[in-house]
Structures are given as C-alpha cells and as structure tokens.
Structure 1
Amino acid sequence: MKKHDYDKILFRLTSIWQRLREGEILSVKDLAKEYNVSTKTIQRDFNERLASKLPIEKSGHKWKVKEGHSIDKNLSFEEDLVLDILKELSLSMGNTFSSSTNKLFSKIQNRHETPIFSKIEIEDISNKTEIIKDIQESIKNKTQIQFQYKNKYRFIEPYKITTFDGYWYLYGNDILTNRLKTFYIKDIESLNSTDKTYKENPNAIEKLKLAINVWFEPNEDLFQIRLLVKKEISKYFVRRPLNSSQIITKKYNDESIEILLDITSENEILFELKKWQPHLLVIEPKSLAKKILIINREFLDNQLELLI
C-alpha cells in the first residue's frame, strides 16, 4: 500500500488525533491533500467526529487544541494491552498488512517491546486489498456485486467477510441459485459493484454465527448431535465451546463430559472429530457415529499398508 492510500476513517482520525496531541495546528486543505479526500470530508471529521470529543477549536481554516487545554498522551494499561494484542495478531496476516498496521500503531503508542505473542496463522490477502474495500463498501450499502469465480461469473448479495481456520471467505447469497454460499477470497477476480440493493437475510447471519468451520451448510436445517468428550480434552470444550449452541448435559466423575449442540452439516463436525480423536466420540445420531467409524477404519487400513 502507498502512504496516501490510507483513506479509511479510523486511520485518518487516529492520525489527526495524534498530531493534535503533539501540539500541531492542522490545515483542512493540507489534510485533504495528504489523505487524498475532499476538504468537506476533513471538515466533517472535525465537526462531527472530533470536536464533540476533544478540546479543539477552529481558527480560520485550521484546527488546534483549545487554549489552556491539553490532551493526555498516555494510554491506559488496558488500551495499550489491546493495541499490543492487535499488533501481534497483524503479524500473522502477512508482511504487507503487518507493515501497514505497525505504522498506524506507532502513531498511537509509545514504542516498546510487546509482551504478547500470538501463533494464530491468518493468510496474507494484501494483494486483494482493492477487492476487500469494494466488498466492504457493498456490504455497508447493501448493494449487489459481480465477479469471476472458478470459471463462472457470479451475482452475489454480500453479507460478511469472514475467516475459517485462518483463510478468508466472502459469505453471501448467490442470486442466480438463491442459495447461501462461501467464496474463497483469493479466487475472486474482476469484481464489480452495482447499484442494485438487497435486503439482508437475518437467518443467514444466525447460521454464520453458529458455524464451526467452513464446512457448515447454511441452506440446511439445524440438527442436534450429542458428543462424549473424554477427560483428556474436556477442559478445552469448557473453555471454548464448539459453537454458541453448545451445552453440557452431563459431567462424569473422571471429568469427561457430554455436550449437545446444533449443526448444519455432518462434514462440519467430522472435521472436528478427526482433529480431536480418539478423545471425541459420537453418541447421537448413530448414522454419524457409523460414518466416523468407516473413516477411521479406512485410515487404519491405509496406515497399516505403510507399515508392512
């Protein structure tokens, strides 16, 4: 990203705020040129967003801190910690994104060695910045978009940009099939926004909130499953439920638990069963228990072939 591509409201306001704290007297015209926006936009920043929260005043076409007032330069411990966490998370999103966020954070925080370390891996989609911005704008305005995806041209009502297991997806309604779908953002090409508006489907957002992973099926009805979580891993399911519908229905003396939750797809939970085996077991439905048994038998056969 180039310096003057930072036309996002958050970056602009934060930068202006920091410079006012340092005692600068800021020109509306100069700021408009620097951030590549109109003077009306900068005037709106001051009049509607900053002046109501900060002791600043207008002097001609410039803005400054009011006489006799000062703006505290120190962040609270909690604010500083939140920024440290966000900064560390940005490192896992690729060099370009990390470099951009560090420039922003350096304008807010004093430079120091962060005590936070994150091992969350999120793919770098900095080469899709323009597409992301267009999708964000369309979601905000609830307007349809068009794009090329896996050799097909798609017409979509975009609902959310989301991540599953560190990969970025667009979630929305395919207008031609009237079905909810996820689209891997790195495979989206030649995106165009339209002026055709849509009404968001509240049920679609609720299905997304319940999703455990990208294998969820938003067009299918929810169904319940009951799992036995052995003592070796039960604490992890207590700390962080698989989804918001999870409830613990039984606790055993050895610290194993039974959980009940709603899902949309067998593939959605099969992914988790494989990840946690042999300590996560299916009680109900029996059809799902049989399916994971077949998968495990196939795994054992393949593994034995390698050992012989």
Structure 2
Amino acid sequence: MSTSVSRHDRLASRLAFIISQLFRGETVYLSELSEELNVSTRTLRRDFNERLQYLDLEYHQGGYRLAASQRPFRTDKDILRFAAITHVTSLFPALDRKLLTVLLDPTIDSPFIVYHTPPEQRPSLFGGFYILTQAIVKRRLLQFAHQGKNITNVAPYKLIYYHGHWYLAADIAEHIHVFDVMALQDVVMTARGFRYREDLNQRLCEEAFIQALPHYQYIQSLFKL
C-alpha cells in the first residue's frame, strides 16, 4: 500500500512540476525533465500523451509548450527581454527572477525608481509611429515626407528612443539614414518588402551609433562635401 501511495505521490509531484513550468510559459524538453525528475523519457512521453492529453500543447523546436491560444500572459523571460530592449538591464548588478519578484510584487513598496527623460512630444497612438512599427515588423518599404522632400524606398530597421526623441534608423540605397520621427509626415507603408541585413541591424544596436543619433545626419553630410 505504501509503495502504491509513494508512486502516486511521485506521479502527482511530477505532473504538478511539469504543469507549473508550462503555465509559466516555458518550453519543456524531455531530456531536461528526465534528468531533473530522475525518470525516463519514455515515462515522460507517456505523461504528455496520456496524462496531460487534455492540455492544449504544441510541439515546438523539440519541446512542448502551451499552445498560443493558452498563453495570454507574459512570462519572466518576456519581462527580461523587455528590460534588455529598454536598456534597464544594465542599471542593475543582475536582473534575474529573484529581483523580478521584488520589482513586481504589488505588496512590496518598490525600493527602486528608474527615471527616463520624457519625450519632448509624445507620438500619436494611431499616427506615423504605429505605421513605422508595423513596417519594421513586416519588413516593408516606407515612403514619407521629411523637411519638404518626398522620401521613398525607405527600409526601416529600428525605432530608437534617445534623450527625449524618437529616431527612425533606416536603410536607403545601402546607406544608413536617421530621421527624427516627429519630423515625418504622410507616412505610408508600401506592399513591397526589402532584403533584411542582420549586419546592419547589429550596427544600429551599437552604443556608439545610438549616442550619435542627434547628429548622425549632419555627420553623414560632412562626408559629401
């Protein structure tokens, strides 16, 4: 009897662990679970195929995760990714799940304040900013008016916030161009795509490039003299 109870306890603990991982938004892998839970991959495969069959799971890159329809929440990984994009990560000695617990616990008065200089003019929710965002995501060419000129065949790469301004970093005819977003008018996303360059994307993420944003177009014009 005790052996049977013990076996069921182990099964319950194993399933509870797997389910908790899935509902945290993690992708779980049989080989890793096998090592962590000290059971065979055959047993784990049976767990997924029989005992967890009513969970809406999908097989993704060699592991199991909740289907997209079951993931309306954000995970710790999502939050850490957002922190990296907004360059908050570099402000802390280590931004890990332990610190996230302190930051996100509504019962704790946060010990931190991180202040960013607000933009001189906030972009409109449904204006050019949204179109620029969609064009970057979909990798579509843009056209817009800038300082009285019509600019076409613009391959957008990044929207970068720096010192109170949003900047569009883009490629035009194999050359990097930078535009103050608030100076753009009549922004249109075309139906035409463009060849995405990862090397260019990496260059736009460099700290030296970002710090040069306010003066980039002027610096570039000097080389044309």
TM-score, structure 1 normalization? 0.36
TM-score, structure 2 normalization? 0.47
Greater relative contact order: 1 or 2 (C-alpha under 8 angstroms, separation 6 or more)? 2
